[in-house]
Structure 1
Amino acid sequence: MRLPDLVPVRLVLADDEALLRRGLRVLLEAGGRVEVVAEAADGAGLLDAVRGHRPDVALVDVQMPGVDGLTAVRTLLTWPDPPAVAILTTFDLDDYVATALDMGAQGFLLKDAEPEALVRAVVDLAAGGAVLDPRITARLLPRLRGAVRFRGNAHLEALSAREKQVLALLASGQSNGAIAGALGLSEATVKSYVSTVLTKLGVENRVQAALVAHQVGAW
């Protein structure tokens, strides 16, 4: 989804700590680029909020009472036209992040991220980008071989020069629209390139492709 720049991104925020939700809401809405349309204290509330408000992005804590965040995300991503989902986590939850990665979550953010980084991440997610906090990337790289079907540099060597350019931009969190603008291509062409890159790398989504690029460290 690509939103006009003047239209705020509609966000559902799910975390069981009311104080944290309140603080995040203030930070995210301060610049007018994000509108928190609903809050939820557990996974069941998240599903109800998404069903009722049709947000562009859902920012989801992992550990919540009752229906936890991962269970809710697993359900949410089976719905038609779900929002972009970002996992809001802490350093000690690597196993949960890896599970969410396999599910197809598009973003992984730390709760202590700078406000500007959180806002930029939410906006990028709404535009179709994949967002990885660099600190989470560093933690996940040693686990990459267990998370994606990737075997050394052979897959990268199968990419054309243009496909490597697309992968590099994708790894930096760029949406298809942003990649198209950077490379002078149509969004349809970029979408085709992204699909080919995922297939050649043997991964299932943009976040996994970004992790492959970061692991190799070629860009």
Structure 2
Amino acid sequence: MTRADFQKATENPNHPTTRYLRGTFRISAAQVVQALGVTFADLAGGDAFEFRLRATDRFGRVFSDTNRSPDVQGGFFYRSPFRYDVPIVCPSNISTADDVWDATSTSRFGTFSAEVTVRRAPNSDFNWIISDVSAGLYASFGFSTTQEGIFNDLCRQITWVGPGSTQFGLVPPNVEEPGTWDPDTGTLTVFWRDNGNNIDGTTVLVKR
């Protein structure tokens, strides 16, 4: 973006809530990748772009994220942290309301299978609720078939978020690697733990 482009983007004397100049400019991901000399294949979920600003006033003073003062960082006339971290995320479309999943869990109690649902968590684009993360383990002992686990999808890396409606103390799993989502095969793999019953579970779900 050139100086003229920036000036044009920020000139807005008719802003409805302030008489001070204010504006918006957009930089596409394609522009950033081209400027950095990389490709989208070089990027992964969890990476982030750092955008750093420099402001030069009419006296020649330069402000940036390394020397900003409280007046410029959060003042009335000008407010900016001068650094914006933009994380890389991927659209998450693991399941729909009509999808049915066949789930199989393995743990110290053996192997269990059940039909489950996977639905998007309320107010989230990346969290998913599995209706029975144990895939029938608890149901085989007479407990409810609803033992929910909530998981986050970060560019096909699946990590534990927390329990949903469940009768057991489900907690983060004792594994370092994340679960996975393979849209080509419709296979979702998650890890979970029941602390009270000392169960470390792995559940593999396949979309029908």
Q: TM-score, normalised by structure 1?
A: 0.24
Kindly indicate which of the two structures has a greater share of residues assigned to helix.
1
* Larger CA Rg, structure 1 vs 2: 2
More strand by share: 2
Question: Which gives a bigger RCO, structure 1 or 2 (Cα 8 Å, sep 6+)?
Answer: 1
The two structures have a TM-score, normalised by structure 2, of: 0.25
